[in-house]
Amino acid sequence: MTNQTIIPRPASLWLIAQFELRKALSGTRGLIGLGAFILCWLVLLIYPIGSAANWLSQPGFIDMVRAFTEGQANEILSWKVPEMAMFWVLALYLFPLSVLMVSADMFATDRQQGTLRFLLQRASRHEIFWGRLLGHLILQTLLIALAIAATLLMAMLRQADTLAAGLQQALWVLPALVINALPYLALMALLSVVCRSSRMSILWAIIILLLGGLVIQLLTYNLPILSFMTDIIPGSQLSAMINTKGAGVLGHILIPVIQSLLLLAAGAIIFWRKRL
């Protein structure tokens, strides 16, 4: 049976990924989401990112930040392109939110409407699962690359000779942000398989990330022996990633990679066994 194929066919994966991209970037819902993304980053580019050079060029502001952070922000303050430094801080926290919004309906609606049964006549469950995941991963990579390109353009308009340094930083920032978004993408794939709607997927994601994180913080505070549990919730490495630069931005990717593998394994197994 086709729907029992264990090894996904590359051609099928790519076709499904392309379909997900077209669905996300076309139609009313996709265009509204893309417009909201562009508007959000336009506001960020004009205000905090665009003003970064002015702030970081003032010694008094830098001294205040260093004093407030007790010297823990020295790396981020030494980035050669201030706009990229501000973008890095904002993107670490905003792109996971983008994943939650865009990828919440990876499977839920199609499962409720019976569309997946139709697709199973032409592709295996693994091809559908990994193909859709690939499509959403490509989409998030394109969105991150678009935001980086806009930030570099903003930096060039301020000072043209920042392009080389900005591109050098972007080569590290792009893969770091994509890997940082992976656990959230894996979480939404899992929740979209389990939940009945995209709204429920988002709700459970918020509960897991906020309430789950709070519970683990309380446990580790009272029982330090359980400190390893802080790495269970996606995003546990974000605060450590902020104060990095250059190749150092990839210094904390092991945690999100392991989180992604575990969540994806759980999602793939449940999708394989779940009645569609």
> What tens digit of pLDDT does each residue of 213-222 get?
899 889 888 8
Q: What is this structure's pTM?
A: 0.91
Structure-token match 């918020």, residue found: 206
Query: Residue 2: what pLDDT?
Result: 44
Is the pLDDT at 31 greater than 70? The verdict is: yes
| Confidence band for 67, pLDDT divided at 50, 70 and 90 | low
Share of the chain above pLDDT 90, in %: 50
For 224, counting Cβ atoms within 10 Å of its Cβ (0-12 exposed, 13-18 middle, 19+ buried), the class is exposed
Res 4 pLDDT > 90: no
Both structure tokens of 259: 């989180």
CA angle 244, 72, 217 (to 5 degrees): 95
Q: Please determine, for residue 64, whether its predicted confidence score (pLDDT) is greater than 70.
A: no
Task: Report whether pLDDT(61) > 80.
Answer: no
Q: Is the pLDDT of residue 1 over 90?
A: no
The pLDDT of 225-235, averaged and rounded, is: 88
Residues 6+ apart with CB under 8 A from 32: none
Q: What is residue 170's predicted lDDT score, i.e. its pLDDT? A: 95
Give residue 136's pLDDT.
95
Query: Is pLDDT of 63 > 70?
Result: no
- For 186, residues 6+ apart whose C-beta sits below 8 A from its C-beta are 133, 259, 260, 263, 264, 267
CB atoms near residue 32 (< 10 Å): 10
Q: Using CA atoms, how far apart are residues 200 and 14, in angstroms rounded to an integer? A: 28
Helices assigned H by DSSP within the chain: 10-25, 27-44, 52-56, 59-68, 74-77, 82-102, 108-113, 115-119, 125-158, 163-194, 198-206, 212-222, 238-242, 254-273
Nearest Cα to Cα of residue 63 among 77, 76, 43: 77
Question: What's the mean per-residue pLDDT of the chain?
Answer: 88
Rg (CA), the chain: 20
Cβ pair 123, 2 in contact under 8 A: yes
pLDDT for 97:
92
pLDDT, tens only, 113-143: 888 888 888 889 999 999 999 999 999 999 9
DSSP label at residue 233: S
3-state SS, residue 14: helix
Identity at 163, one-letter amino acid code: L
Give the pLDDT score at 137.
96
Average pLDDT on 99-116 reads 87
pLDDT of the residue at 203: 95
